[in-house]
Structure 1
Amino acid sequence: MIKTCEEEAKNKRIVKLINKLYIENDLRDDELLWLIDNIDDESKRYLFALSEDTRRIYYGKSVYLRGLIEFTNYCRRECKYCGINVFNKSVKRYRLSKKEILDTCIKGNELGFKTFVLQGGEDPYFTDKIICDIVTSIKKMIPDCAVTLSVGERSYDSYKTLKIAGVDRFLLRHETANEELYRWLHPYSYLHSRVECLKNLKSLGYQTGAGFMVGLPWYKSEDYVKDLRFLKNLQPEMVGIGPYITHEDTSMKNYKSGDLETTLLMLALIRLLLPKVLLPATTALGSISPDGRRRGIELGANVIMPNLTPVVNRGNYSIYNNKKISGSESAEALQMIKDDINSYGYYCDMGRGDSKMIY
């Protein structure tokens, strides 16, 4: 098909903006907006090739594996989209004991994991004292490991105490930079509180992870630009994004889930905006498409978190429906995961895998 002069000019501008982003690792907001609204499939392939090249420059072909331990599904928060929110009476609640957590870490260490991600709801039972005891015990057993926490919003003093105890990294997605939508999703909390927590984590020297959900209700291109600009300004060491996926036991059960293609586009843009960032191919990405994880890795994602949570509890950490909790997403299938990664042309790194942004 012969392109018109207008189409040729549009294509040239798309390529020009992609090249600028690749070289300068930034675009003006209006340029990002235009690119998101106008990029076509052919130009996406070019963008994805450059985002993968950027990952290769800083991380080579390494894909870092983290051992995920979902240690509590109790949560005090009211997040409308989440299957373990405080108002959901259908979920079967659980807490792992200190022994169960340590035993899981020992098993993970035997498998070769050197990073453990302790993820849970905002559970008041897990005070600073209890978490610090768990973290120091893990570090005593496995001195060369890294410990990541993902337990939500806490005070500056709490984050400081946890850092002193040995926590290396902290994951706290900002979820959306749209203040009005954030308030709708969280009727009893505010975006500025979440942002303050992220700033506190950065100031305390954590390797800090932020991120947003793709495909939230009423989301527009302008909202994605706000999210991307927020991340660029924050300069987190890790960015976790994935599609919003509905849960049948929430008030948002009838809303449409996010899609794969938009998520992949956002991953590629983040890789170019933050070239040294650690960028997971999330469980949600693999849950919405059988080839979601592979496609994420092929365009620049470089972290996977196999699930170490005891099998008896794994299905109860249900943030969204159809979460991938077995098969290639479980620790029992570690060799399958390694084989998959190798078949994509990459290799698994079981070490600490610290972010290049800290150097």
Structure 2
Amino acid sequence: MTKKNDTKQLIDKLDETHALSRDEWICLIRDRTADDADYLFERAQKVRIRHYGRDVYIRGLIEFTNYCKNDCFYCGIRKSNKNAERYRLTKEQILSCCELGYSLGFRTFVLQGGEDGSFTDDRLTDLVSSIRMRWNDCAITLSVGERSYESYRQLYDAGANRFLLRHETYDDTHYRKLHPSGLSAAQRKQCLWDLKEIGYQVGTGFMVGSPYQTFENLADDMLFLKELNPQMVGIGPFIPHHDTPFADQKAGSADLTLFLLGLIRLLLPKVLLPATTALGTVDSDGREKGILAGANVIMPNLSPPQVREKYLLYDNKLCTGDEAAESLRSLTQRMQKIGYEIQVSRGDSLNV
């Protein structure tokens, strides 16, 4: 049996059983071809349309602080980057972003920031409560990193519905190569289990092509996704930032990212799957290709225009044009060109 047929059979098996062994994951990812990718995307689109139709859900991203106590080796807002121009949005500014977003049709707000000690539990709780009171028909998603169980519980009780926390890589040895001491893969994963126990709709994910990543690492990531069974999975290619220790590292592959998107759609058929900003950064048609690979979420930026370029996790990040919420009409047209429709709704995950 040829290698080509092996990989197609593995795609068929994944579509039918929603599971593969570690060795099968490694073979499928390592031995993939362009022909395999086309075959996969056709299967993934069918699964996505079966569960979500041709709807693309939009999320209003509000990057409210770029201060961070962590020093992750890949991140442009790491605390050691003295060239980062720091900012914090006020409560009033954040609420104004929500007001703009609501008028544009957004029914999910994603509050994303570095791990900024200035945003205490009480301060964040007040913010979440205020959004919940004013826009009760909207989902509130938080992406604010590792916090205590009690903190997560307090924010959930205040009205937060969803939480995004990428595990970045399942393997602890690989995790330590990407992060300073004091951060661990075990702690990261424990936070995800805590969030699930509390009742959040949980999103996780990983970087594709991060330094030192192996096919074995990616296989372990896929096995972890199956175990965690999250409501959303966000993956994107690693992109270096010039003011980090990984400045000279090679960026991750758009093709591999797209292939993994298709695999995740077959692994977790009802999951919410974004076509990320990073994918749109490495490939000008990246988000369209992501949707055609099985994704069904896009996150335009609702942050004030004057701070968008300051939330620079990696070089050349999209922060104007179609990444700006004001260009929603253009984004709608781009989706319509490939046969999909922007949907104005909360867009809750069917993967419960």
TM bin (shorter chain): over 0.9
Q: Shift in Å at residue 38 of structure 1? A: 1.7
Counterpart for residue 339 of structure 1: 333
CA distance in 1: counterparts of 2:332 and 2:255, whole angstroms: 25
Instruction: Check if 1:235 corresponds to 2:229.
Output: yes
Query: Please, which moves more after superposition, 27-36 or 284-293?
Result: 27-36
Quick one: which of 43, 49, 58 aligns to 1:56? 49
Question: What amino acid is aligned across from residue 250 of structure 1 in structure 2?
Answer: T
Quick one: which of 108, 111, 116 aligns to 1:115? 108
Q: Shift in Å at residue 112 of structure 1? A: 0.8
SS of the counterpart of 2:157? helix
SS of the counterpart of 2:351? helix
Counterpart for residue 154 of structure 2: 161
Question: What amino acid is aligned across from residue 164 of structure 2 in structure 1?
Answer: L
Counterpart for residue 251 of structure 1: 245
CA distance in 1: counterparts of 2:265 and 2:45, whole angstroms: 8
Runs of 4+ in 1 over 4 A off after TM superposition: none
The share of aligned pairs that are identical, in percent, is 51
Gaps of 5+ in 2: none
Q: Shift in Å at residue 39 of structure 1? A: 2.0
Question: What amino acid is aligned across from residue 344 of structure 1 in structure 2?
Answer: I
Instruction: Check if 1:214 corresponds to 2:208.
Output: yes
- Equivalent residues of 1:277, 1:356 under 8 A apart: yes
Counterpart for residue 13 of structure 2: 20
Counterpart for residue 279 of structure 2: 285
Residue pairs, 1:101-140, within 5 angstroms: 101-140=94-133
Q: Shift in Å at residue 335 of structure 1? A: 0.4
CA distance in 1: counterparts of 2:314 and 2:271, whole angstroms: 26
Counterpart for residue 351 of structure 1: 345
- Equivalent residues of 1:79, 1:85 under 8 A apart: yes
Quick one: which of 68, 71, 84 aligns to 2:64? 71
Q: Shift in Å at residue 184 of structure 1? A: 2.0
Q: Shift in Å at residue 12 of structure 1? A: 2.6
Counterpart for residue 3 of structure 1: none
Q: Shift in Å at residue 185 of structure 1? A: 1.5
- Equivalent residues of 2:259, 2:293 under 8 A apart: no
CA distance in 2: counterparts of 1:100 and 1:218, whole angstroms: 40
- Equivalent residues of 1:136, 1:166 under 8 A apart: yes
SS of the counterpart of 1:307? coil
Counterpart for residue 88 of structure 1: 81
Question: What amino acid is aligned across from residue 269 of structure 1 in structure 2?
Answer: L
- Equivalent residues of 2:206, 2:235 under 8 A apart: yes
Residue pairs, 1:185-224, within 5 angstroms: 185-188=178-181, 189-224=183-218
Residues 91-116 of structure 1 deviation map (CA, whole Å, 9 limit, x = unaligned):
11000000000111011101111000
Residue pairs, 1:28-39, within 5 angstroms: 28-39=21-32
Question: What amino acid is aligned across from residue 24 of structure 1 in structure 2?
Answer: T
SS of the counterpart of 1:356? coil
Quick one: which of 169, 174, 186 aligns to 1:176? 169
Question: What amino acid is aligned across from residue 277 of structure 2 in structure 1?
Answer: T
Counterpart for residue 301 of structure 1: 295
- Equivalent residues of 1:148, 1:171 under 8 A apart: yes
Question: What amino acid is aligned across from residue 30 of structure 1 in structure 2?
Answer: D
Q: Shift in Å at residue 327 of structure 1? A: 0.4
Q: Shift in Å at residue 218 of structure 1? A: 2.1
CA distance in 2: counterparts of 1:75 and 1:304, whole angstroms: 25
CA distance in 1: counterparts of 2:262 and 2:139, whole angstroms: 27
Question: What amino acid is aligned across from residue 186 of structure 1 in structure 2?
Answer: H
Instruction: Check if 1:100 corresponds to 2:93.
Output: yes
What number of residue pairs does the alignment pair up?
351
- Equivalent residues of 1:66, 1:350 under 8 A apart: no
Residues 139-170 of structure 1 deviation map (CA, whole Å, 9 limit, x = unaligned):
11111000000000000000000000000000
Residue pairs, 1:35-46, within 5 angstroms: 35-46=28-39
CA distance in 2: counterparts of 1:28 and 1:15, whole angstroms: 15
The CA RMSD over aligned residues, in Å, is: 0.9
Q: Shift in Å at residue 17 of structure 1? A: 1.4
Please report the TM-score for the alignment, with normalisation by the length of structure 1.
Answer: 0.96
CA distance in 2: counterparts of 1:15 and 1:313, whole angstroms: 46
Instruction: Check if 1:141 corresponds to 2:142.
Output: no
Please report the TM-score for the alignment, with normalisation by the length of structure 2.
Answer: 0.98
Instruction: Check if 1:10 corresponds to 2:3.
Output: yes
SS of the counterpart of 1:306? coil
